[in-house]
Amino acid sequence: MTTAQQSALNLMPLPASAQPGTGSLRVDSTFSLVFTGYTEPRLERAGERFLRQLARQTGLPLSFKPAKMAKATLVIQTDHASKEIQEVGEDESYILDVSRTTARLRASTPLGTMHGLQTLLQLVDVTPDGFAAPAVTIQDTPRFPWRGLMIDSARHFIPLEVIRRNLDGMEAVKMNVFHWHISDNQGFRAESKKLPKLTGLGSDGHYHSQEEIRDLIAYARDRGIRVVPEFDMPGHSSSWFVGYPDIASTPGPFKIDDEWGVMDPAMDPTNEKTYKFLDTFIGEMARLFPDHYFHIGGDEVNGKAWDANPKIQEFKKVHNYKTNEELQAYFSQRVQRLVNKHGKAAIGWDEIFVPGAPKDIVIHSWRGTQALAAAAKQGYRGILSNGYYIDLMWSAARHYAVDPLGGAAADLTPEQKQLVLGGEATMWSEYVNWENMDGRIWPRTAAIAERYWSPESVTDANSMYARLDIISQRLEWLGLTHRTQPRKMLHRIAGPATSEEFAALVTLADVLEPVKDYTRGESTSYQAITTTPLNHMVDAVPPESDAGRRFGELVDKFISTSCLDGNTRERLRAQFVVWRDNDAKLQPLAQRSFLAKEATANSQDLSTLGTAGLAALDSIAKGQPAPDAWKAQQLAIIEQAKKPKAQLLLIPADAIQKLIEAASAGGACSSSKPQ
């Protein structure tokens, strides 16, 4: 099957291989499934979950009771159990065979079975004759064994129901590691019974009890997902020190931080009290979290707290540590030994990769493939998050283009490449809470999931976007709110409004994106992250504007026809008129709502862009290169519109700039008359 044929299947991630069959399997109210071979309660729950989800996406009243073999539409055979505690690299493969009369799913382990069920769910769609799945034979297995999503519950407390539905989303796109960043400067969110002041004083009262954590781990295991906890140390740990100042490098009292950025406080690596404390703590958490890996963080220690403490300076001298990096290496080794003592292996950010580190650690790279490659060359395993920081508001295509085995890792030997286990999308929550988290994670993370699962050759961004749009809709049937909640947030911004006013707000929001990278955090007015309301336009609009992307494609298409395609021209013109006139429609609302008012400059820019677009079309219609003065004037307008305002970018600016340049250049567009 070619990639094009695979793409036609509307699957995400695309399978390792697929052979099309003839006809399709009808899915109606009689649909049923049966388990053969190995079975366990988890599989039965997966079967019922599959049927419930099928009922939701089709609206068919299905029976959730198990069928008798002879009558089942879907026959599932699993060979044997998977490991009691899910391990890295277990067999996750499956074979799914859909014919006109039946579907057969075979897998070695329940992990493969569950992945196959998700594939079948994605195959079912509405057809001219009812719901159906196309006949196909799929043989599928993941490219990487570590396919993760990290959620930061510390900066903003994330309720368990939000995490649960995101685990549902992970299952749908075959991700298998939930990395829970559960403590940081801004809050400690996991209950410790032995060290109760960690949450008692180190949180605002919002944290997860051990019982809730155990429930969540069980929920994840039910979906073939490992839970790797991260307790970031020795930095990112102000919240620990509120209750336990003794383990800090500087004297207290400490308070929970509320700011954006890297903080100074750090654990005292020279104090044996620190290791005694961590021995107790890691021992307790190692029992609570069954996974073999224990994430110890290790990132972004700025060393100021160490420099400020004469005892620590003295310790460095005695041990002949010239730099704070060497001191951190000492700390890392001590902590890694504690992790091992409690039966686990350590995973941590780049900084834990220090000379003499045990070979069982996993390097989690926020720095890039170069660091991963360097580690692999020394026999260390690693995973990549650089390029998958979904808090940076990049496009799906930009993340999609990043490969864990790209860059410096591309030159590794096949054996070394085996050491690169996969990657993790990271949802840092400085500007993310219960309400907009789904929209920050989805649908883009489905594209990242495809990068981790599908063959290396699957790289066509157009195909990805076409399928992403479909999976995005389906993810909402799971209860994710990435499409519905932004609209509710716009209603909040609008307040009571006429349908015309609200439509104008939607028109504006549809072509805005939040500023990229760390621009928002670096802007002074937004630095108090936990007390800043996330109810602004920048919080409501998705990281990537679909309308903006489609408009860009339309302009490219128009220019590629030498600006001769009349149909496209008329669509562009209609769009420009809407944008030009939109600001006037939005004005009454902007005068009533302070939240709408914040986007006034963006709205005026959009109106200006609409006018500029019309001018460019008019100029092109004249059939000769536009004067330089006109071009300079227009480009100045564009330049102004490109400047971020209210932490927002106006996406159509780039494409309109192209039109202006096309109108000005002596190229095809300017030299041709419109039809």
Cβ atoms of 399 and 388 closer than 8 Å: yes
For strand 103-107 and strand 94-98, is the pairing parallel, antiparallel, or unpaired? antiparallel
User: DSSP E strands: which ranges in 239-342?
Assistant: 293-295
Stretch that binds a copy of itself, among 15-23, 121-129, 170-178, 404-412 (CB under 8 A): 121-129
Alpha-carbon distances, residue 28 vs 23, 32, 71, 73, 122 (angstroms): 16, 9, 14, 10, 16
- Is residue 61 a contact point for a copy of itself (CB under 8 A)? yes
Q: Kindly provide the b/e burial profile for residues 88-105, where b requires at least 16 CB atoms within 10 angstroms of the residue's own CB.
A: bebebbbbbbbbeeebbb
Nearer to a copy of itself, 503 or 668 (CB): 503
Q: Which among 90, 212, 259, 300 is annotated as catalytic?
A: 300
- Is residue 60 a contact point for a copy of itself (CB under 8 A)? yes
Q: Mask of contacts with a copy of itself, 193-232, x by CB under 8 A?
A: -----------xx---------------------------
Measured distance CA(394)–CA(313) in Å, rounded? 42
Nearer to a copy of itself, 332 or 429 (CB): 429
Q: In this structure, which amino acid lies at residue 415?
A: E
Stretch that binds a copy of itself, among 368-376, 408-416, 471-479, 516-524 (CB under 8 A): 471-479
Measured distance CA(240)–CA(169) in Å, rounded? 32
- Is residue 499 a contact point for a copy of itself (CB under 8 A)? yes
Cβ atoms of 563 and 556 closer than 8 Å: no
- Is residue 501 a contact point for a copy of itself (CB under 8 A)? no
Tally the residues of the chain: 675
Stretch that binds a copy of itself, among 42-50, 91-99, 135-143, 491-499 (CB under 8 A): 491-499
Q: Mask of contacts with a copy of itself, 520-559, x by CB under 8 A?
A: ----------xxxxxx---x------x---x---------
Q: For residue 70, what are the contacts with CB-CB under 8 A and spacing of at least 6?
A: none
Q: Which of 23, 69, 87, 126 binds a copy of itself (CB under 8 A)?
A: 126
CB of 473 to a copy of itself, least distance (A): 5
Nearer to a copy of itself, 23 or 343 (CB): 23
Burial class (CB in 10 A: 0-12, 13-18, 19+), 71: exposed
CB of 596 to a copy of itself, least distance (A): 8
State which H helix or E strand residue 631 sits in.
Answer: helix 628-642
* The two three-digit tokens of residue 17, written as one number: 């291989």
- Is residue 592 a contact point for a copy of itself (CB under 8 A)? yes
Cβ atoms of 358 and 300 closer than 8 Å: no
- Is residue 492 a contact point for a copy of itself (CB under 8 A)? yes
Interface positions, 605-664, toward a copy of itself (CB under 8 A) = none
Cβ atoms of 447 and 464 closer than 8 Å: yes
Q: What are phi and psi of 150, to 5 degrees?
A: -100, 135
Q: Which of 232, 435, 501, 544 binds a copy of itself (CB under 8 A)?
A: 435
Measured distance CA(478)–CA(52) in Å, rounded? 10
Question: Is position 300 annotated as part of the catalytic site?
Answer: yes
Q: In this structure, which amino acid lies at residue 297?
A: G
Interface positions, 277-316, toward a copy of itself (CB under 8 A) = none
Q: Which of 113, 23, 121, 30 is nearest to 71 (CA)?
A: 30
Nearer to a copy of itself, 342 or 487 (CB): 487
Stretch that binds a copy of itself, among 126-134, 313-321, 380-388, 610-618 (CB under 8 A): 126-134
The SS3 call for residue 555 is helix
- Is residue 595 a contact point for a copy of itself (CB under 8 A)? yes
Q: Which of 1, 461, 470, 564 binds a copy of itself (CB under 8 A)?
A: 470
CB of 448 to a copy of itself, least distance (A): 21
Per rule CB under 8 A, count of chain residues that contact a copy of itself: 52
- Is residue 490 a contact point for a copy of itself (CB under 8 A)? no
Alpha helix stretches (DSSP H) within 510-599:
519-522, 537-540, 546-560, 566-592, 594-597
Interface positions, 398-427, toward a copy of itself (CB under 8 A) = none
The binding site for a copy of itself (CB under 8 A) comprises 10, 29, 56-61, 63, 65, 125-130, 204-205, 433, 435, 469-470, 473, 476-477, 484, 487-489, 491-496, 499, 530-535, 539, 546, 550, 591-597
- Catalytic residue numbers? 300
